[in-house]
Each structure stands twice: as structure tokens, then as C-alpha cells.
Amino acid sequence: MATPSDTPSARNRAQQHAERALELAPYDAEVLYQLALHYRFSGDRARAAAMLQRVLELQPNHPLALIDLDFVRGQCAADSTAAVARLRARIRELSASSPARWVALSHLSSIYLARGEFEEARETALTSRRIIPMTWTAFTLAAADVATGRDAEAARALAEHRREWPNMSLHYFAGHIATRWCLGGPRAPEAQAIFGRLADEMEPAQK
């Protein structure tokens, strides 16, 4: 079942708002950063990367743009080795209290998952969730759990977020969002298959 915010009309409205925001605030780094997030979540890798680069031109010390750029360049890329190395280096440089730390860990976990490194994806997602438990890392953690035979742990991770997303459908996520999550990269089908397995294991009645 599609969520109200993930329909063709809603996506069209979001794109129109994004284009208007760019017209009104082409030199506002924070507006451009939010546009980069829009392009990333809609699966437009090239525009997301270009927008993040523009943010860094305007605000070189932006707290998240460099981390997000590493993620956009590495997620489901044919070779994400450099992106993994950069994210790991950034995590080492961030203080334990840095509000950017959980974001970098979340991104690194997602890349590990796309690389098929499920134990690393799981441990990194858990570390991120000890700081802030977000729905996005719940998906990553649950997928890594299922891939490593930890179905009970996957169910617990998802259950933490069922109250805020009562209509959350893993089959919808696997069938419609996972490819955008993977930014349309060459390994997108592999990521989609992982989430398809998660959906089959956790929601077999919805097949």
C-alpha cells in the first residue's frame, strides 16, 4: 500500500516545490542542502551530488554535506571502496557528541548492506541506533538481520517503528522505494532483492 507521501501526484508537487525553491534561493546553502536531500530520496544521484557540491562551495564547513556526498557517490556504485574509506575516516574524526555521527554511521551501514557486507552493515546500524533510533536504520538493520539468519532480531527492529508507521509495508518498500534508495546505481537490483527477502520473511501474507 502506497503511503500518502509517496504517490505520483505528491512526487510531482515535491518536484515543483524543489524547482521553485531553487529559483528563489539559489545561494542559500541550507535550502540547497534540503534540495539535495530531495534529489537523493527521489533517486536522482547526479542532481543530488551536484547540489551537495554547490552547498560545499557556498558553505565549505557544512556539517552534513560532505558526509552525504560520500554516501551519494558510494551507495550502490560499482566500486564504493573510496566512499567507505572516507566515511570511516570522517567517523573517526567526529567527536562522540557530534550530531553528525549517527548520520555518517547510518550512511556507512547502508553502503555495507549494498556491498553485501551484512555483518558490518548490522554492527554499524546498531551503533548509529544507539545514538538515535531512526526508521531508516531500522530498515537497514532488519535487512542485514534477515540476510544473516536473525529473523527475530529483524522483527524487533521493525517493531520499534510500527507505532509511528502503522501502515508501513515492506513489500511496497521493496517494490517501489528500494531502487530509489539505491539511487539507481548498478547494484540497485541487489539492494532491492535484499529488501524483497526482508518483506517475504516479515510480511508473507502481503505477497
92 domain-assigned: yes
The pairs formed by 28-32 with CB atoms below 8 angstroms and a separation of 24 or more are 28/58, 29/55, 29/58, 29/59, 29/62, 32/58
24 domain-assigned: yes
Segment 23-45 mean pLDDT:
83
121 domain-assigned: yes
143 domain-assigned: yes
What lies within 8 Å, CB to CB, of 77 at 6+ separation is 83, 185, 186, 187
* CATH at residue 158: 1.25.40
pTM for the predicted model, two decimal places: 0.87
Under a CB-based contact definition with an 8 Å cutoff, are residues 195 and 188 in contact? no
**Same domain for 128 and 187?**
yes
Number of domains in the chain: 2
**What would the pLDDT profile of 160-176 be if each residue is shown by its tens digit?**
888 777 777 888 888 88
**Same domain for 187 and 87?**
yes
Q: Which helix (H) or strand (E) holds 54?
A: helix 45-58
The SS3 call for residue 203 is: coil
Determine the pLDDT at residue 2: 41
The Cα diameter of the chain in Å comes to: 50
Q: Which phi and psi (to 5°) does residue 162 adopt?
A: -65, -30
146 domain-assigned: yes
Grid coordinates of 80:
564504493
Mean pLDDT of the chain: 87
134: exposed, middle or buried (Cβ count in 10 Å: 0-12, 13-18, 19+): middle
Q: What domain range includes position 35?
A: 1-62
Quote the crossing angle between the two packed helices 101-114 and 118-131, to the nearest 10°.
160
**Same domain for 167 and 191?**
yes
**Same domain for 58 and 105?**
no
Grid coordinates of 52:
551537495
Segment 129-151 mean pLDDT:
94
**Same domain for 22 and 99?**
no
Weakest-pLDDT range from 83-92, 172-181, 191-200: 172-181
Weakest-pLDDT range from 19-23, 59-63, 65-69, 122-126: 19-23
